[in-house]
Amino acid sequence: MHLFKSVALAALVAVPVVAAAQSSKDVLEARHGYMRMLALNMGQLAGMAKGEIEYDEAAAATAGANIEALAQYSAAGLFVPGTANGEVEGSDALPAIWEKPGQFAQEFKAFADAAAGAGEAVKGGQGNIGAVLQKLGGTCKDCHDDFRKPE
């Protein structure tokens, strides 16, 4: 009976370790997916601003609204401990995210604030996109400078 209890206890202890390893990978995949969605929408707006893509008010408004919606997503679920660079393969997140959570939250909030109204602000012509991208891009750069591994 003692052997059974020992094996059962070992199995119970191992389950969270396996689950944590799986969840770190899942979190990283979700984080990468989130960033790809932002990049897709930012890229569409940037293409229009540069004249590489013909300005389309409906498409610009949709991209802006998508960015607004993504900015409301809870960053906490995408940046869990154990998913920093060096802790899980493919992560560019610096440990500073968890060492300075207040600063990280402020920078993510700055992005959300910059994204507010983006869907409406890009309407009315190609010339309106640049100011929106400048605000958004500035917050992205600030956060990446402080919390992302340099490329």
Alpha helices in 51-150 (DSSP H): 57-71, 96-99, 101-115, 118-121, 129-147
Report the length, in residues, of the chain.
151
Torsion angle, alpha carbons of 63, 47, 54, 33, to 10? -40
pLDDT tens digit sequence for 89-133: 999 999 999 999 999 999 999 999 999 999 999 999 999 999 999
Q: Which CATH number fits domain 15-147: 3.40.50.1000, 3.40.50.880, 3.40.50.920, 1.20.120.10?
A: 1.20.120.10
Q: Determine whether the annotation assigns residue 2 to a binding site.
A: no
Q: Is 26 helix (H, G, I), strand (E, B) or coil?
A: helix
Q: How confident is the model at residue 6 (pLDDT cuts 50, 70, 90)?
A: very low
pTM here is 0.83
Task: State the Cα–Cα distance between residues 15 and 50, nearest whole angstrom.
Answer: 51
Q: Determine whether the annotation assigns residue 32 to a binding site.
A: no
pLDDT tens digit sequence for 60-99: 999 999 999 999 999 889 999 999 999 999 999 999 999 9
Q: Determine whether the annotation assigns residue 144 to a binding site.
A: yes
